[in-house]
Amino acid sequence: MPRPLHAVVHTQALRNNLQVVQRSAPDARIWAVVKANAYGHGIERVFEGLRGADGFALLDLDEAQRLRTLGWRGPILLLEGAFELRDLEWCSRLDLWHTVHCEAQIDMLAAHKTNVPQRVFLKMNSGMNRLGFVPSQYRAAWTRLNALPQVDEISLMTHFSDADGPGGIARQSAVFEAVTADLPGERCTNNSAAVLRHPIHAGGAGGAGAAGPASDWVRAGIALYGSSPDHPAHNAGDWGLQPAMTLCARILATQTLEIGDTVGYGSTFVADRPMRIGIVACGYADGYPRICPTGTPVLVDGVPSRTLGRVSMDMLTVDLTPVPLSGYGSEVTLWGAATNAAVLPIDDVAAAAQTLGYELMCALAQRVPIQVEN
């Protein structure tokens, strides 16, 4: 029998979460962001649940190729664009749309030999200071692109740094709208946090509004996978999001502690009363964060409990006090949905690990088998 640890990808949850995004951006088309192998879920595993999106956005050519192999004929966008000239040949071959964020990419386009012009998304650095042309150079970049026979339609794109927090998107939106006001082309702005927290309206030139930026296309990632983009201000449940991934193990052994007994490496947990503990087949080599302290939430047979002591490579320890009937073979939900339908949001575990749901799902280890539940 395989080691009792596996992950489940929930197709129905993906569909639900896509609908949540669609309802929040009813006039926009949705890019389902599937970079990093669909945030650790696997592109092939999420495809069925997300094929209702209008397009898929990602970084790697091999991931784009896998989507074409799955039969996806719709739009695919490379969020970082081409890294070298040869990538543009792949864009032609696989019919990919690509981001243009710097002069070197325009040079590549000018050197690209093709009879079929390419759809590009011209990125503005409106304040994030990661990728894109600064506002003062944006229009010159647009003009240069627009003159190239290799270029078809030009869409206008930017990315928000503070959509999930009190900073908000107003300042960057205003910059973006002012610089692009009289440029033609579709707008593509919001990530998950911006979609859920800042209502948008359909775009088009000059479509500035008080509510939020014009956006013909939104780029939703984390929300699709059921993690709240602005935790802890909102929980996934507040947004109507359901976990797309469950990480589930079983208890391999139990121990009974007397007062003063300790648990695990470094003896960091000391029992202050007699108690029963369970040893779980999941450790940091599976992607469960080692930094999680005593008290990190888990579900045992669907009942809320907590971890005890340090996480080791292949195992961790849980408190069985709240679940007196549990024992060898009991189900332990590290995050996601238990068999009894109780939910442990991945964001709660991420908070204990001082990180985000993003990092936990992306870090699920290769050795953990993943099942798809339809």
Concatenating the DSSP letter of every residue in 256-273 gives EEPTT-EESGGG-EE-SS
Give the nearer residue to ligand PLP in terms of CB position, either 62 or 89.
62
Give the nearer residue to ligand PLP in terms of CB position, either 66 or 159.
159
Residue 312 Cα distances to 6, 290, 363, angstroms:
17, 7, 16
DSSP conformational letter for 324: T
Q: Applying CB under 6 A, does 14 fall inside the site for ligand PLP?
A: no
Q: Which of 113, 138, 265, 358 is catalytic?
A: 265
Reduced to 3 states, what is the DSSP secondary structure of residue 152?
strand
CA torsion, points 329, 334, 336, 339, in degrees to nearest 10? Answer: 10
CB of 57 to ligand PLP, least distance (A): 7
Q: Using CB under 6 A, which residues numbered 36 to 95 contact ligand PLP?
A: 79
Q: Do 96 and 90 contact (CB within 8 A), yes or no?
A: yes
Q: Applying CB under 6 A, does 98 fall inside the site for ligand PLP?
A: no
Find the part of the chain contacting ligand PLP (CB under 6 A) among 100-108, 215-223, 249-257, 310-318: 215-223
CB of 208 to ligand PLP, least distance (A): 21
Could you list the beta-strand ranges (E) of 103-237: 118-124, 151-158, 187-188, 217-220
Q: Which of 35, 39, 288, 358 is catalytic?
A: 35
Distance CA 185, CA 333 (A): 47
Residue type (1 letter), 179: V
CB of 272 to ligand PLP, least distance (A): 42
Near ligand PLP by CB under 6 A: residue from 219, 231, 306, 310: 219
Tokens 């192999």 locate to 69
Q: Applying CB under 6 A, does 229 fall inside the site for ligand PLP?
A: yes
Find the part of the chain contacting ligand PLP (CB under 6 A) among 69-77, 186-194, 199-207, 209-217: 186-194
CB-count burial class (<10 Å; 0-12, 13-18, 19+) for 162: middle
Q: Do 340 and 304 contact (CB within 8 A), yes or no?
A: no
Find the part of the chain contacting ligand PLP (CB under 6 A) among 10-18, 189-197, 198-206, 236-244: 189-197
Find the part of the chain contacting ligand PLP (CB under 6 A) among 63-71, 191-199, 315-323, 341-349: 191-199
Total interface residues for ligand PLP by CB under 6 A: 12
Give every CB contact of residue 185 below 8 A, 6+ residues apart in sequence: 122, 153, 154, 155, 156
CB of 35 to ligand PLP, least distance (A): 6
Near ligand PLP by CB under 6 A: residue from 24, 126, 180, 191: 191
CB of 347 to ligand PLP, least distance (A): 13
CB of 241 to ligand PLP, least distance (A): 12
Residue nearest to ligand PLP (CB): 221
Find the part of the chain contacting ligand PLP (CB under 6 A) among 7-15, 81-89, 111-119, 218-226: 218-226
Nearest to 193 by CA among 153, 241, 156: 241
Give the nearer residue to ligand PLP in terms of CB position, either 163 or 320.
163
Give every CB contact of residue 322 below 8 A, 6+ residues apart in sequence: 300, 303, 304, 305
Q: Applying CB under 6 A, does 221 fall inside the site for ligand PLP?
A: yes
Residue type (1 letter), 330: S
Active site residue 265: yes
Give me the residues that bind ligand PLP (CB under 6 A), please: 33, 35, 79, 159, 191-193, 219-222, 229
Q: Which residues are catalytic?
A: 35, 265
